[in-house]
Amino acid sequence: MAVQSGIYKGVSAADRAAERRSRLLAAGLTVWADPATRTTMTAVCAEAGLSERYFYESFAGLDALLEAVMDEIGAEIEQTSRAAAEAAGDDPAARVHASVRAFMQLLLDDPRKGRVAIVESVAVPALRRRRTELLRHLAHQSAVESRKLLGSPGRSANEDEIGGMLFIGGMAELITAWLDGTLAASTDEIVEAASRALLGIYR
């Protein structure tokens, strides 16, 4: 649906559309993460306080909304982890530790994000491929950052990519077990183990 032009109460049509899209994304996260609620367009619109007309203004369908929710979470994970690493200084171990801790803090602050991106997305056939793409992107970034931090003595770029996949794939399984209660571990235990694992892969 085309967005009408013009200013209403001092807010442009584009800004109003962007605000509605943000509300739908927030509602999508809330509904999708709630095991007691079936994830439907109707439920998302009710949570957002918007009609289906406005839903179609931003998204072609429910799967498109859920994919956008996943993309936002993936971008936040990447940006948060990178910022923490940069703030930790030049020591590789400190940077890895800070990056992993920032990721865990993000999940502690809002457990819904880990649940929908890592756990719930597996149950949606249309989103499984997107989940795989996001995990592989994070694996590639892990390989690139590790090579930059630790160098690559005797390792090929392909070996670095393999290491990234091992780390991110392992983290996905670890976080799944942690979120569903299968693994009883503290945040500190996960941060320490994950940091050692990543450094061990590339050293």
Residue 181: the pLDDT is: 86
- Is the domain of 106 the same as that of 178? yes
- Is the domain of 169 the same as that of 131? yes
Total domain count, the chain:
2
- Is the domain of 78 the same as that of 178? yes
- Is the domain of 96 the same as that of 118? yes
Query: How many Å apart are CA 26 and CA 49, to the nearest integer?
Result: 11
Assess contact for 98 and 85: CB atoms under 8 A: yes
Rg (CA), the chain: 19
Q: Does 197 fall in a domain?
A: yes
Q: Does 2 fall in a domain?
A: no
**Boundary residue ending a domain (39, 59, 79):** 59
Per-residue pLDDT in tens (0 to 9) along the chain, 203 residues: 444 555 656 668 888 899 999 999 999 999 999 988 999 999 999 999 999 999 999 999 999 999 999 999 999 999 999 999 999 988 989 999 999 999 999 999 998 998 888 888 888 888 888 889 999 999 999 899 888 888 777 788 899 999 999 999 999 999 999 988 898 999 999 999 999 999 998 87
- Is the domain of 186 the same as that of 121? yes
Query: How many Å apart are CA 116 and CA 163, to the nearest integer?
Result: 25
Q: Does 15 fall in a domain?
A: yes
Closest of 125, 149, 144 to residue 203, by C-alpha: 149
pLDDT tens, position by position, 126-183: 888 888 999 999 999 989 988 888 877 778 889 999 999 999 999 999 999 998 889 8
- Is the domain of 170 the same as that of 184? yes
CB atoms within 10 A of CB 186: 9
Assess contact for 79 and 23: CB atoms under 8 A: no
CATH number at residue 74: 1.10.357.10
Residue 186: the pLDDT is: 93
Q: Does 1 fall in a domain?
A: no
Q: What domain range is 42 assigned to?
A: 7-59
- Is the domain of 46 the same as that of 117? no
CATH number at residue 14: 1.10.10
- Is the domain of 17 the same as that of 74? no
Q: Does 85 fall in a domain?
A: yes
